[in-house]
Amino acid sequence: MLENLDVTSVTIKLPFRLNHVNCFIAEGADGWTIIDTGLHDLEAYNSWKPFLDSRKISDIIVTHHHPDHYGFAGGLQEMTGAKVFMSKIEHETASAIIKKERDETLKENYLNCGIPKKVVEDMTNTETSFNQMVSPHPQVSGHLKAGDKFQFGRYEYEIFDAPGHADGLITFFNKENSVLFSTDHILPKITPNISYHFYGESNPLEQYITSLREYKKLEAELVIPSHGKPFKNANKRIDEILKHHDERLVQIIDIVKVPSTVFDVCLKLFGENLTSHEMRFAIGETISHLEYLINRGECSKDIFKGIFQYQV
């Protein structure tokens, strides 16, 4: 499928349960363009090395600031001298994460969620340990925005906003062939993690749901995601994802019939067998749903002894 687009998929192993990320390389206007990079680790280095020897890499496009996509951008830039582009929001978010003071605020926020101290320690340590997988940070040459177009392989793609998984996530669509590089916006098999982050968007799930409904208008036939295999019929998958969130919201309304902390709700949804890395995603996902319900007036929140309690 990708051969017809003159695009090569470079799948890089990740040391997580989500064990790979699909990055892409194709000829652009002034050389070769890379989309997403992997973590800054040996796997990514070894995966990219064969592509760099005989090609001039002119551009690196990063879809969002998460380490599996952004992590090796700085490293690749050092190796190739390529320009790095991302959306303004994601550039700002990546820059903010470098700042140390975030750790303390994050700890406090997690404690407000009713998460036990020991678990909070592990969660913030995991977050900090990511720093080495995203260093050095790239020098960003310019910002990409919705409506921008670029050549990637045989065809030109238009950039679309895709808020939800990350506030400034972007996707790429070629209309004439109905091909969507959906990045982490629409994934097969797993649903993209929609997390509340204590910064940025206050209601990311609302943004995500609204955006998915907009994407249905594209009626994309071929979807090439950043995790998992390419698949047909974006709208069918969008409907499945929307249904999943509806069901989860119903489940949460049932849980918060008794006053519950974020941690209480999280354990009931995802169980206790989570690594601290997975717990961060689970907590973020739990809050995004709770905040969505609050915004719709279907749930209320108050604070007792520094801990938020949610209740229908």
Chain residues binding Zn ion by CB under 5 A are 68, 184
Q: Minimum Å distance from CB 17 to Zn ion?
A: 12
Of 90 and 184, which has the nearer Cβ to Zn ion?
A: 184
User: How many angstroms separate the first and last alpha carbons of the chain?
Assistant: 48
Of 39 and 283, which has the nearer Cβ to Zn ion?
A: 39
User: Residue 81: exposed, middle, or buried by beta-carbon count in 10 A (0-12, 13-18, 19+)?
Assistant: exposed
Q: Minimum Å distance from CB 268 to Zn ion?
A: 26
Of 13 and 55, which has the nearer Cβ to Zn ion?
A: 13
Q: Minimum Å distance from CB 187 to Zn ion?
A: 8
As a whole number of angstroms, the distance between CA 157 and CA 41 comes to 29
Q: Minimum Å distance from CB 20 to Zn ion?
A: 10
Of 68 and 161, which has the nearer Cβ to Zn ion?
A: 68
- Who's near 95: CB < 8 A, 6+ residues apart? 137
105 is written with which tokens?
Answer: 């605020």
As a whole number of angstroms, the distance between CA 51 and CA 132 comes to 24
As a whole number of angstroms, the distance between CA 150 and CA 184 comes to 20
Q: Minimum Å distance from CB 276 to Zn ion?
A: 18
The residue of the chain with the least Cβ separation from Zn ion equals 184
Of 63 and 174, which has the nearer Cβ to Zn ion?
A: 63
Q: Minimum Å distance from CB 14 to Zn ion?
A: 9
Of 59 and 68, which has the nearer Cβ to Zn ion?
A: 68
